[in-house]
């Protein structure tokens, strides 16, 4: 089994690469790390490559890169994959930061590029746009969520942080609650891409930045319940949903097995679990008005926000615990 440590970058195809470069540099605040005829590599201001744009006829996210421990032998990893029945291919010059990678497909057809060593992008002195800290997570929709989750856990070393019922999985490869999401849907497609912000004040600044550029939030600000991240959502010029978030649940110690306790958690302690179908999409802020299966999508315009059902849920659980303690026979 591989042990993925972090997500590298997502490769996005777009029919209008210049429009997308403008969006990702001027609005999102990424830097151009390299530019070629048919692709542009974009990095955070801290030098982490995050997005690779490629010219293409359709909007898609065909490749995703992941880093394993620096110094890992890619040849040895290829042998291990082969033993597990997985054919991989050695590729060079993936990006300016990734010289060597091992490429293979996951069960839903996304090409994964596994690399061990990475060079940070050169410093960009121009501060502009939202300027996220890093590429936080990517969510895909696909028909066989269980199969994809099994592959990511068994082959890549991901851990399941939470499920919503049996159709929405949140997987971690580091202390962050999730780096990939899989949502059941008939069609395989990208669902959204999320960038991590430093804190709530940066989310507020992002709201102002988007508004200044006439980009409407499609959802938020909210605090989710699953993952507990504060988040805002909008659509980029290609129609891909982009999330900016902060405050996501952290599993600092896998042996302890619980997320770092926070006052807004529903459980004490908050451990990985299966959340019921009826779990509200968020703790506060406008609720998703979509069917549960399209949770994380934008609420319908002009819908009346419902508030605080999560608090009721937590109080109900506390009351149930209290009544169980009362009915216990005394010693």
Pick from 60, 238, 243, 295 the residue near Fe ion by CB under 5 A.
Answer: 243
Of 95-103, 148-156, 186-194, 262-270, which part binds Fe ion (CB under 5 A)? 186-194
Q: In this structure, what token pair is assigned to residue 275?
A: 């959340």
Binding residue (CB under 5 A) for Fe ion from 68, 194, 203, 206? 194
**Cβ proximity to Fe ion, 118 vs 219, nearer residue:** 219
Residue nearest to Fe ion (CB): 194
Radius of gyration of the chain measured on its C-alpha atoms:
20
Residues 268-307 that bind Fe ion (CB under 5 A): none
DSSP3 helix / strand / coil % (the chain, rounded to 5): 20, 35, 45
Size of the site for Fe ion (CB under 5 A): 2
b/e sequence 186-200, b meaning 16+ C-beta within 10 Å: eebebbbbbbbbeee
Structure letter (DSSP) for residue 250: B
Of 117-125, 162-170, 209-217, 243-251: span binding Fe ion (CB under 5 A): 243-251
Using the minimum distance from each CB to Fe ion, give the nearer residue, 43 or 248.
248
Residue closer to Fe ion (CB basis): 53 or 138: 138
In the complex with Fe ion, the residue whose CB is nearer, 177 or 265, is: 177
Min dist CB 139 to Fe ion, Å, is 6
Residue 102 or 223 having the CB closest to Fe ion: 223
- Count other Cβ atoms within 10 Å, centred on residue 127: 9
Q: CA angle 157-158-162, nearest 5°?
A: 155
CA distance 317 to 331: 25
Q: Are strands 189-196 and 241-246 parallel, antiparallel or unpaired?
A: parallel
Piece of 53-61, 237-245, 246-254, 301-309 that binds Fe ion (CB under 5 A): 237-245
Find the shortest distance in angstroms from Cβ 154 to Fe ion. Answer: 24
Helix (H, G, I), strand (E, B) or coil at 155: helix
Our CB check for Fe ion shows the closer of 121 and 251 to be 251
210 lies in the binding site for Fe ion (CB under 5 A): no
Task: Supply angle C-alpha 93, 95, 96, rounded to 5.
Answer: 90
What is the binding site for Fe ion (CB under 5 A)?
A: 194, 243
């Amino acid at each position: 089994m591989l042990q993925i440590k972090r997500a590298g970058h997502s490769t996005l195809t777009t029919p209008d690469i210049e429009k997308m470069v403008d969006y990702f540099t001027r609005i999102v605040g990424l830097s151009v790390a390299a530019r070629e005829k048919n692709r542009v590599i974009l990095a955070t201001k801290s030098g982490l490559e995050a997005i690779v744009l490629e010219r293409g006829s359709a909007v898609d996210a065909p490749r995703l890169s992941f880093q394993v421990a620096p110094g890992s032998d890619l040849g040895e990893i290829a042998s291990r994959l082969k033993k597990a029945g997985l054919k991989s291919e050695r590729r060079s010059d993936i990006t300016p930061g990734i010289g060597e990678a091992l490429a293979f497909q996951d069960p839903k057809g996304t090409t994964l590029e596994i690399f061990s060593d990475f060079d940070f992008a050169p410093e960009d002195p121009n501060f502009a746009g939202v300027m996220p800290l890093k590429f936080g997570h990517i969510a895909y929709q696909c028909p066989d969520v269980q199969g994809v989750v099994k592959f990511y856990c068994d082959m890549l070393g991901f851990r399941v942080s939470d499920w919503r019922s049996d159709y929405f999985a949140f997987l971690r490869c580091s202390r962050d609650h999730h780096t990939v999401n899989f949502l059941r849907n008939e069609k395989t497609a990208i669902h959204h891409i999320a960038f991590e912000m430093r804190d709530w004040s940066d989310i507020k600044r992002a709201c102002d930045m988007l508004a200044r550029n006439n980009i409407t939030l499609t959802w938020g600000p909210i605090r989710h319940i699953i993952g507990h991240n504060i988040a805002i959502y909008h659509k980029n010029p290609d129609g891909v949903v982009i999330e900016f978030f902060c405050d996501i649940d952290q599993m600092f110690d896998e042996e302890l097995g619980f997320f770092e306790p926070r006052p807004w958690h529903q459980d004490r302690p908050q451990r990985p679990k299966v959340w019921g179908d009826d779990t509200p999409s968020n703790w506060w802020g406008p609720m998703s008005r979509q069917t549960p299966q399209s949770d994380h999508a934008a609420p319908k315009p002009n819908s009346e926000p419902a508030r605080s059902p999560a608090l009721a849920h937590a109080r109900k659980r506390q009351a149930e615990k209290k009544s169980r303690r009362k009915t216990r026979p005394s010693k």
